[in-house]
């Protein structure tokens, strides 16, 4: 009796798990593991055919980026991107100023705690989200490394 119970329990648990996973996949509409996924990278448009940036709505983002060379006694990092993202409420220049202030505050902390020398290599401001801006910059400079995306909407 013990011998058959030992053989039946693992088989029973495998069958129940497979049946449960099959039921979950049918509930979620998953047709198979090798289902291709398509990602639409086209610009999203509003109902009237104008993009959110062209209409001036508050749903767009402003990204400010500084590319830094950082050095301490033990480490040296080149082409480190510090990005700050702010929601655009219609005033691009005010959003850029707020995002730059967030970057400057982070640079101050980096300088005080970790790095002796810091050099700004480049500054970029765009009306897009920071992940897209980083991907765009990464195409131009393959050695670029992202430090962080700061949220400039929060008053730190």
Which two tokens mark 34? 């090798």
State percent of the chain over pLDDT 70: 61
Tell me what the pLDDT averaged over the chain comes to. Answer: 75
Distance CA(55)–CA(67), nearest Å, equals 31
Pick from 66, 68, 65, 67: nearest CA to 118: 68
Higher local confidence (pLDDT), 138 or 24: 138
pTM: 0.61
List pLDDT tens digits, range 11-63.
545 544 444 444 444 444 444 444 343 334 343 333 333 334 444 444 589 99
């Amino acid at each position: 009796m013990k011998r058959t119970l030992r053989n039946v329990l693992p088989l029973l648990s495998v069958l129940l798990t497979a049946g449960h996973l099959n039921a979950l996949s049918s509930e979620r509409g998953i047709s198979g593991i090798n289902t291709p996924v398509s990602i639409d990278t086209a610009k999203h448009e509003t109902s009237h055919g104008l993009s959110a940036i062209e209409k001036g709505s508050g749903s767009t983002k402003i990204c400010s980026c500084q590319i830094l060379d950082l050095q301490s006694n033990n480490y040296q990092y080149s082409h480190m991107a510090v990005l700050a993202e702010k929601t655009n409420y219609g005033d691009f220049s005010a959003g850029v100023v707020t995002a730059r202030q967030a970057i400057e505050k982070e640079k101050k902390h980096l300088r005080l705690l970790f790095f002796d020398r810091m050099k700004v290599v480049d500054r970029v401001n765009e009306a897009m989200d920071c992940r897209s801006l980083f991907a765009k910059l990464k195409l131009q400079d393959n050695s670029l490394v992202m430090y962080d995306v700061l949220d400039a909407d929060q008053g730190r």
